[in-house]
């Protein structure tokens, strides 16, 4: 017998002698032919050997040794064998490999699908011959058993009708989507003139923020906070030696802080320190050479993060000037070595959309792209220039990508962060922080720096603020007719546990779900629209149920999900998740039959949670402290046999009335439940 705590924590306040009003839920190959005594081998052009592949979910690093360091080697790959230059799926990778070592090379195949087998061969341009026999690799599953779709795109949608993908309105500090207060105010003429481009991390509860210092480019200002909102200024971070513009991104790994920064025209370096402030020591020589030819004050690396989708270690983004013009463009880089000293320049394969927002006159200027990973997808903020000449603004738009190369804009109707009203501190330009989103409790935060003047206007104050969204609620699907629907692609039968839906039905239409047999597109018995308990309330973690039970009760086999709204309205469908873990996620449904966010007046309330069909009993804990260090109630043998009067259950839920022996006094409580299998 074992159990697993599912930290879907309920919070409720108990009051006496009044009518109850509810509960707050804050709930997470050498090919050899042997005949006699001889062996036939493939001939290797230029003695290319030691070929190996290291695959990620969306790219793969090919390593090999080439005796001729001047030979040009190309990669051809295909989903089908044999690989030939005539294959439709063939891709020729440019000879961008290790900058300093042309014998031991690394090259990158990118733009791949996850969980897919690919075949590849290396070709010697000098010898006009294949370098070795055909090899293969299989990309990784980007979710590793956990499946989530936050509707950043239509990647998992098979078909849909009359639905639109929308961007939610964020909320600024002490304000709304348009206007709010700054959280760090660094005025022009002070210690940090032009303090901007913030980098934010949450290091085990300590929030840390760095900003570029335009008045002293060898330094970055450092601030820290306990809540991500109220900040205290710390000592400066600075580069030891001649680093040039100390303007870059910060990562924290193995108790070491790394800053990827620009140290000369068109070049970037990396330095480290055990502290978030003080002197940072440069690691090796130049790590990024973007072949920039102009604009030393503009080329920069603004975002660096661990690339969990790629075989590469880090993924970086920034901006530079287009050679021979005055246009800026966004650029991308990836690391090919674990010591961060070998980088590949991605820019010529970086496809970003033009701005189709109708609220301004947007030029071809592509400024910074801040990017990170959310739910198996690259998400980014792209700065577009609105205006002519230098008298314009910088405005951020939300973009997404599945391969880190091809991007699309989400919702052309609005910026992800709005410029402030005329006269506000952020009415001129907005430059978001790195990372794109960072979670802070019940909200996802997007920090940014802003000016109250147009582009290149000086002097100008630059302040730091944020916009925030309810957790996992930045994009959603919205119906435009009563018969709107979305049907998913085929989902593996393994992924039918812990099914949760993020939906707000309190603002309009409700949501219904049918589970379809993938081979027939017909619903399983007991799992059609008419069998579904319609979702009409607001929760980030609804547990869908049918007359046939929960999703894990469907017959074995692959399936699809069909979502439909119950009417016209702004029923906001933010996404869904499921996984292959048979330790099914228990979710509280209600306490005393009430919804979210209210108070109860009953010392022996009735707790309702999702039914687990292979559970022998349940354990319920109630505590006045969120760490559950000293529960006031700890009942570990809840089932019908032990509590025949207080326990009842059907195929979807368990109801348990707290016995009088565990009667609660007036207080503020947390509760959690686990299934014992």
Beta strands 59-65; 73-78: pairing state: unpaired
Q: How far is CA 282 from the centre of its chain?
A: 30
Q: Is 144 left (phi over 0), alpha (psi -120 to 50) or beta?
A: left
* DSSP symbols for 269-282: EEEEESSSSEEEEE
Q: Give the residues across from 316 on adjacent strands.
A: 304, 333
Which of 441, 470, 499 delimits the end of a domain? Answer: 470
SS3 content of the chain, % helix, strand, coil (to 5): 0, 45, 50
CA gap 222, 278 in Å, rounded: 10
- Which residue range forms the structural domain that includes residue 492? 146-167+475-579
What confidence score (pLDDT) does residue 395 get? 84
What confidence score (pLDDT) does residue 550 get? 85
**What's the CATH number where 415 sits?**
2.115.10.20
> How many Cβ atoms are within 10 Å of 394's Cβ, its own excluded?
22
The answer as to whether 174 is a domain residue is no
Which of 479, 449, 442, 487 lies closest to 466, judged by CA? 449
Q: Give the residues across from 129 on adjacent strands.
A: 124
What's the chain's Rg over C-alpha atoms? 28
Same domain assignment for residues 462 and 496: no
The answer as to whether 38 is a domain residue is no
| Burial of 141 (C-beta count, 10 Å sphere; 0-12/13-18/19+) | middle
What confidence score (pLDDT) does residue 224 get? 95
Q: Give the residues across from 273 on adjacent strands.
A: 257
Same domain assignment for residues 71 and 99: yes
CB 608 within 8 Å of CB 580: no
CB 92 within 8 Å of CB 77: no
The answer as to whether 34 is a domain residue is no
Same domain assignment for residues 372 and 499: no
What confidence score (pLDDT) does residue 323 get? 56
Contacts of 157 (CB under 8 A, 6+ apart): 486, 487, 488, 489
Q: Which two tokens stand for residue 124?
A: 């010697």
Same domain assignment for residues 66 and 8: no
**What's the CATH number where 530 sits?**
2.60.120
What confidence score (pLDDT) does residue 513 get? 97
The answer as to whether 632 is a domain residue is yes
What's the average pLDDT block by block, 10 residues per block, for the chain (677 residues)? Answer: 41 50 30 33 66 91 84 86 77 48 80 91 83 90 82 92 92 94 72 73 91 72 93 82 64 85 63 88 60 43 82 77 59 71 58 59 64 89 75 84 86 88 89 90 92 68 90 92 92 84 86 96 96 90 88 89 85 89 68 69 88 78 83 89 88 88 87 78
Which of 269, 263, 257, 174 lies closest to 222, judged by CA? 257
The answer as to whether 35 is a domain residue is no
CA gap 485, 512 in Å, rounded: 9
Same domain assignment for residues 207 and 285: yes
Q: Which two tokens stand for residue 625?
A: 């402290």
For the whole model, what pTM was predicted? 0.77
The answer as to whether 33 is a domain residue is no
CB 405 within 8 Å of CB 349: yes
The answer as to whether 22 is a domain residue is yes
The answer as to whether 39 is a domain residue is no
Which of 439, 470, 501 delimits the end of a domain? Answer: 470
Same domain assignment for residues 462 and 498: no
Q: Is 556 helix (H, G, I), strand (E, B) or coil?
A: coil
CB 413 within 8 Å of CB 478: no
CB 555 within 8 Å of CB 493: no
What's the 3-state SS for 96-136? Answer: CCCCCCCCEEEEEEECCCCCCEEEEEEEECCCCEECCCCEE
Same domain assignment for residues 485 and 336: no
What confidence score (pLDDT) does residue 25 get? 30
Positive or negative, the CA dihedral 320, 324, 326, 329 is negative
Which of 552, 579, 606 delimits the end of a domain? Answer: 579
CB 559 within 8 Å of CB 515: yes
Same domain assignment for residues 125 and 10: no
Same domain assignment for residues 600 and 574: no
Same domain assignment for residues 276 and 332: yes
Contacts of 100 (CB under 8 A, 6+ apart): 342
**What's the CATH number where 91 sits?**
2.60.40.10
Element (H, E) at 320: strand 314-321
DSSP annotation of 521 reads -
Same domain assignment for residues 457 and 492: no
Number of compact structural domains in the chain:
4
Same domain assignment for residues 559 and 594: no
CA gap 148, 150 in Å, rounded: 6
Q: Cis bond leading into 435, ω under 30°?
A: yes
Positive or negative, the CA dihedral 15, 16, 19, 23 is positive
CB 246 within 8 Å of CB 211: no
């Amino acid at each position: 017998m074992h159990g697993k705590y599912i930290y879907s924590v309920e919070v409720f306040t108990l009051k006496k002698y009044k009518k109850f009003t509810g509960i707050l839920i804050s709930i997470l190959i050498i090919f050899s032919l042997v005949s006699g005594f001889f062996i036939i081998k493939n001939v290797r052009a230029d003695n290319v050997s030691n070929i190996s592949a290291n695959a990620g979910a969306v790219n793969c690093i090919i390593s090999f040794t080439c005796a001729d360091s001047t030979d040009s080697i190309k990669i051809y790959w295909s989903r089908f064998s044999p690989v030939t230059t005539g294959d439709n799926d063939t891709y020729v990778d440019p000879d961008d490999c290790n900058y300093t070592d042309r014998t031991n090379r690394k090259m990158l195949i990118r733009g791949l699908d996850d969980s897919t087998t690919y075949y590849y061969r290396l070709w010697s341009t000098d010898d006009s011959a294949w370098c070795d026999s055909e090899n293969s690799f299989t990309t990784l599953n980007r979710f590793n058993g956990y499946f989530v779709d936050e509707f950043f795109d239509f990647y998992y949608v098979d078909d849909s009708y009359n639905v639109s993908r929308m961007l939610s309105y964020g909320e600024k500090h002490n304000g709304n989507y348009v206007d709010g207060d700054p959280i760090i105010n660094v005025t022009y003429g002070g210690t940090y003139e032009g303090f901007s481009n913030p980098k934010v991390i949450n290091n085990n509860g300590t929030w840390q923020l760095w900003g570029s210092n335009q008045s002293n480019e060898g330094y970055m200002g450092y601030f820290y906070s306990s809540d991500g909102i109220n900040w205290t200024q710390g000592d400066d971070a600075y580069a030891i030696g001649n680093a040039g513009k100390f303007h870059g991104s910060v990562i924290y790994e193995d108790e070491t802080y790394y800053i990827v920064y620009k140290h000369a025209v068109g070049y970037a370096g990396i330095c480290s320190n055990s502290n978030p402030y003080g002197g940072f020591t440069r690691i090796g020589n130049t790590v990024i050479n973007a072949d920039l030819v102009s604009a030393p004050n503009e080329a920069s690396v603004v975002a660096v993060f661990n690339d969990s989708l790629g075989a590469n270690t880090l993924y970086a983004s920034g901006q530079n000037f287009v050679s021979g013009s005055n246009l800026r463009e966004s650029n991308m880089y990836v690391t090919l070595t674990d010591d961060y000293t070998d980088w590949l320049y991605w820019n010529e394969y970086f496809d970003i959309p033009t701005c189709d927002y109708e609220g301004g006159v947007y030029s071809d200027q592509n400024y910074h792209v801040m990017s990170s990973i959310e739910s198996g997808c690259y998400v980014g903020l792209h700065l577009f220039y609105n205006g002519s000449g230098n008298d314009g603004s910088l405005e951020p738009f939300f973009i997404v990508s599945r391969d880190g190369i091809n991007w699309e804009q989400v919702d052309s109707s609005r910026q992800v962060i709005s410029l402030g009203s005329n006269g506000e501190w952020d009415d001129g330009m907005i430059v978001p922080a790195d990372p794109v989103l960072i979670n802070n409790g019940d909200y996802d935060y997007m920090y940014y720096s802003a000016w109250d003047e147009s582009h290149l206007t000086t002097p100008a104050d630059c302040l730091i603020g944020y916009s925030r969204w309810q957790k996992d609620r930045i994009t959603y699907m919205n119906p435009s007719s009563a018969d709107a629907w979305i049907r998913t692609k085929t989902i593996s039968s393994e992924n039918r546990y812990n099914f949760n839906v993020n939906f707000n039905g309190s603002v309009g239409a409700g949501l219904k779900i049918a589970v379809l047999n993938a081979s027939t597109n017909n619903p399983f018995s007991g799992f059609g629209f008419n069998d579904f308990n319609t979702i009409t309330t607001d929760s980030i973690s609804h547990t869908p149920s049918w007359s046939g039970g929960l999703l894990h009760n469907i017959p074995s086999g692959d399936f699809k999900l069909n979502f439909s709204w119950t009417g016209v309205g702004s029923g906001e469908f933010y996404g869904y998740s499921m996984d292959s873990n048979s330790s099914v996620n228990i979710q509280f449904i209600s306490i005393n039959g009430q919804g979210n966010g209210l108070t109860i007046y009953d010392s022996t309330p009735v707790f309702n949670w999702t039914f687990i069909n292979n559970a022998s009993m349940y354990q319920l804990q109630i505590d006045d402290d969120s760490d559950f260090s000293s529960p006031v109630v700890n009942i570990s043998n809840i089932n019908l046999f032990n509590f025949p009067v207080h326990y009842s259950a059907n195929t979807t839920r368990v109801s348990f009335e707290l016995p009088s022996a565990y009667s609660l006094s007036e207080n503020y409580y947390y509760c959690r439940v686990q299934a014992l299998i």
